Structure 1
Amino acid sequence: MFPATWRRLCRRAPSCPAPRTQSLLAGSGPSYWSKVVSDAERLVGYPTSFMSLRCLLSDELSNVAMHVRKLIGTQHPLLNTARGYVYDSRSNLQTRGLIVLLMSKAAGPSHAASDLLPQDMVSGIYPSQRHLAEITELIHTAFLVHRGIVDLKGWTDSDGPLKDMEFGNKMAVLSGDFLLANACTGLAQLNNTKVVELISSAIGDVVQGIYSENNSTTEENAGVDAAAWEDRAFLSHGALLAKSCQAALELANHDKGSQSLAFKYGKHISLGHKLNSDLQPFVKSDAGEPASFSLSAAPVLFHRQVVGQERWRQQLQQATTLRNQLDYSKLLAAVKSEKGVSSAVTYAVTMATGLWRPSRFSPPPKLDPPWRTSPPPSPDFELDTHTHTHTHTHSCKH
C-alpha cells in the first residue's frame, strides 16, 4: 500500500528528520533549506535546475527574452521574476516539481495490472511522471509571470514612465501565455485524459483564486475565519500541487485511496507554505525594508476576526494617506498589536503536525477565537519564500 511505501522511503532517506511540531516553519536558514533540496534531488535523481529546460531554451522564448531586456532599468516586476527563475540561489521557485517527483518515488509502481513496466522507471520514477513535474513547473512559472502584471489604474508620472509599465505588462502576458501553451501541449503528450482533466481544473482553480484574492480585500462580508482563508489559499496556491501529486499517482495506475492521500499531502504542504509566506512580514525584523503585505494574508484575517469589522474599518481609514494609498507600516503595527499573528502561528503549527500523519488528514480545524488562544513559543521563521509584494492584477483569460 502507498502509506507503507511512504514510510519505507522516509526510513531509507539519510536526511529525513524526525517529526517535529514546528518542522514546517522552523529551520536554520537558506543553507539548511538548500541542503534539504539537494538531498531530495539525489533521491529522485533529477536536479530542479533541469525543470522546464527544454521550454526555456526554445527559439520562441529566446525572442521574448530579447524584448524583456528592454525593461532593464525600469521597476517592472517581470524582471525580478525572470532573474529569480534563472538564478534561483535559494531553491524556492522549482520545488513544486520536486515534490511531485518525491511523491512519485514514494508511491512506487502500482500492483494493479498495467502496461507500465518497472524497468521503465529511472530512480523509481516513470518518465511520464518526470514530464508531469516539468509541466507543473511550467504552469507555476506562468502564473508567477502573470501575477507580475501591474495595475496601472492609479499610475502617475511620479511612479515612473507609463509606457515602460505598459510594455512590461504586454511582455508578461505574452510570456505567461507562452508557458501555459507549452504546458498544455505537454499535457496532451501524456495521453491520459484523467490527468489532463486534473491539471486543467487546477489551472482554472488558480485563476479563480487569484481573482478572489484581488477582490476579497475590499469585500466587507468576506470570510475572516480559518476555513475561509483555506478555501481561498487552496485555489490560488494549493490546487496545482495537490492535483499534480494526485495526477502523478494516476499516471502509475494507483488506486483512488492512494491518489486521495497524495492530493491531501500536496494540499496541506501548499497551505503550510502559504501560511509561512503570509507570516513573513509580521515576524521579520528588517527595519530597512518597507512593510508591504496582502490584506488577505492569514494574520490580517485573524486580526479582523479579533477586532471586529467596525474597528478594522477605522484602522484602514487611519492608515490611508492623502493620495488614497495605504500606509502598510501603520497596518503592520495594528495587526501585530493584537492576537492575529499568534493565531496564524497556531494554525500553521497545527497544519505542520498534520503533514506527518497523511492517513489522518481531516477538514480544517475549527480554531478557538484568537483572543482565547495563548501565543505558542515563537518559532524561528527563517524559511525563505519567494513572495511578491507589488500591486498587480491578473487580466488574462485562459
Structure 2
Amino acid sequence: MVVAEVPKLASAAEYFFKMGVEGKRFRPTVLLLMASALNFPIPKSASDGGTGAPSSELRTRQQTIAEITEMIHVASLLHDDVLDDAETRRGIRSLNFVMGNKLSVLAGDFLLSRACVALASLRNTEVVSLLAKVVEHLVTGETMQMTSTSEQRCSMEYYLQKTYYKTASLISNSCKAIAILTGQTAEVSMLAYDYGKNLGLAYQLIDDVLDFTGTTASLGKPSLLDIRHGIVTAPILFAMEEFPQLRSVVDRGFDDSADVDLALEYLGKSNGIQRTRELASQHAKLAAAAIVSLPENDDEDVQRSRRALVDITHRVITRNK
C-alpha cells in the first residue's frame, strides 16, 4: 500500500516497514487473530461485510484493516519523533534524525493519506467513521499531553484518558472494525472493542514501567524518555500518592536533571512500579474476560485464535521490551 511517485518520499514512508526495522507487528497480529476469532456463522440479516461475502474476500477486507492500523500507528510515530526531537526509534536512527523533520512529517502525512484511500475502498461508513475517530483521538491525546495544567498532569483519571486517546483507541476501534466487517452483533462488536481498549491500556502501562526499568538497548529508544520530557506517567503518579512532597518536584517540570534524580529516588522508595504493573494486570484480565465472553464456538481455528488472544494479554504484562 505504501507506494509514492517521488522516490525520496517512498523511501521515507517505507522506513519502518523495511526488513529488520519493522517493529513487533503487535497490532496487525492482534487484528488478524481477532478476525479468525470472530469468523463464525451469524444470522443472514447481518450488515454489509458479514457471512454473505465470500470467505476469502472477507479475510482480505479484514487484512486491510490490519494494514491501515499499522500505517496509522507508524504515521503517529513519525510525527511523535518530530515533536519529541527523538534520535532513535526501534533500535535505529529515527527518520527525522536521518532525513530531517520536514520529510518525516510529510512521510507521516503520506501514510495517513494512503490509509484513508485503503479505508475508503472498504465501502463501510461505520468502519470509516471508527478509524477517522482514531486519528482525531491521536491528535487530541497529544494535545492533552502538551497543554495539561498542573492539576491535570497529576491526575490519574486525566492520564488514563490521555493514554486511551494516544494508545488504546487505535487498537480498540480497529478490533471493533474487524467485528463490524464480519457482520457481528453490536454486543460482540463491543466485546472486541473492550478487548482492544484494555489490551492497549495494559500495553502502555507496561511501556511506562519499562521507561524506568528498561535499557536503551532493550527498548530500542532512550530510557527515562518521558520524565526527561516532563511527561508524568503512572509510576510517578502512584509514587506521588505515597510521597506528596514529590508533587513540588513534578510541578517544576523536570527541566533540572537534579529533579529527575530526585523523582527517581522517590519512585525507588515507593510502590509506584509495582502498582502500575498491578493496574496493567487488571486491564489485561478485563481484556481476557472479553474474549471468554464471546459466543461459544467449537470451530478449532476460532478456539485457537481466542486462546492466542488471551495469551497475548499475558505476554503484554510480562514483556521486557
Task: Please name the residue that 1:203 is paired with.
Answer: 135
Asked if 1:313 corresponds to 2:248, the answer is yes
Give the superposition deviation at 1:352. Answer: 2.1
Larger Rg: 1
SS of corresponding position for 2:7: helix
- Segments of structure 1 that go 5 or more residues without pairing to the other structure are 1-53, 69-77, 153-163, 362-378, 386-398
2:210 to 261, 280, 305: 280
SS of corresponding position for 1:293: helix
Task: Please name the residue that 1:243 is paired with.
Answer: 173
1:62 to 1, 4, 7: 7
CA RMSD after TM alignment: 3.5
Give the structure, 1 or 2, with the largest relative contact order (CA under 8 Å, sep 6 or more): 1
Residue-by-residue CA offset, 1:41-88 (whole Å, 9 max, x unaligned): xxxxxxxxxxxxx31xx233633255x5xxxxxxxxx9xx93x54244
- % of aligned pairs identical? 24
Asked if 1:298 corresponds to 2:228, the answer is no
Higher helix share: 2
Give the 5 Å matches for 1:13-52. Answer: none
Q: Matched residues in 1 for 2:5 and 2:259: separation? A: 42
Q: Matched residues in 1 for 2:223 and 2:277: separation? A: 22
- Would the aligned equivalents of 2:211 and 2:223 in 1 still touch at CA under 8 Å? no
- Would the aligned equivalents of 2:214 and 2:223 in 1 still touch at CA under 8 Å? no
Residue-by-residue CA offset, 1:277-319 (whole Å, 9 max, x unaligned): 00003333789976433423211222223323x5421466596
- Would the aligned equivalents of 2:179 and 2:192 in 1 still touch at CA under 8 Å? yes
Asked if 1:258 corresponds to 2:188, the answer is yes
Asked if 1:343 corresponds to 2:275, the answer is yes
Amino acid at match of 1:108: N
2:61 to 128, 140, 146: 128
Task: Please name the residue that 1:357 is paired with.
Answer: 289
- Would the aligned equivalents of 2:65 and 2:119 in 1 still touch at CA under 8 Å? yes
1:192 to 124, 129, 137: 124
Task: Please name the residue that 2:146 is paired with.
Answer: 214
Amino acid at match of 2:27: R
TM-score normalized with structure 1 length: 0.62
Task: Please name the residue that 1:232 is paired with.
Answer: 162
- Would the aligned equivalents of 1:146 and 1:176 in 2 still touch at CA under 8 Å? yes
Q: Matched residues in 1 for 2:112 and 2:263: separation? A: 36
TM-score normalized with structure 2 length: 0.75
- Would the aligned equivalents of 2:192 and 2:291 in 1 still touch at CA under 8 Å? no
SS of corresponding position for 1:113: coil
Q: Matched residues in 2 for 1:318 and 1:215: separation? A: 13
Give the superposition deviation at 1:149. Answer: 0.8
Q: How many residues in Structure 1 have an aligned counterpart in Structure 2?
A: 281
Cα separation, partners in 2 of 1:85 and 1:307, compared to 1, 3 Å: farther
- Segments of structure 2 that go 5 or more residues without pairing to the other structure are 86-95, 294-314
Give the 5 Å matches for 1:129-208. Answer: 129-150=62-83, 168-208=100-140
Task: Please name the residue that 1:106 is paired with.
Answer: 37
- Would the aligned equivalents of 1:319 and 1:330 in 2 still touch at CA under 8 Å? no
Asked if 1:333 corresponds to 2:265, the answer is yes
Q: Matched residues in 2 for 1:61 and 1:383: separation? A: 39
Cα separation, partners in 2 of 1:88 and 1:333, compared to 1, 3 Å: farther
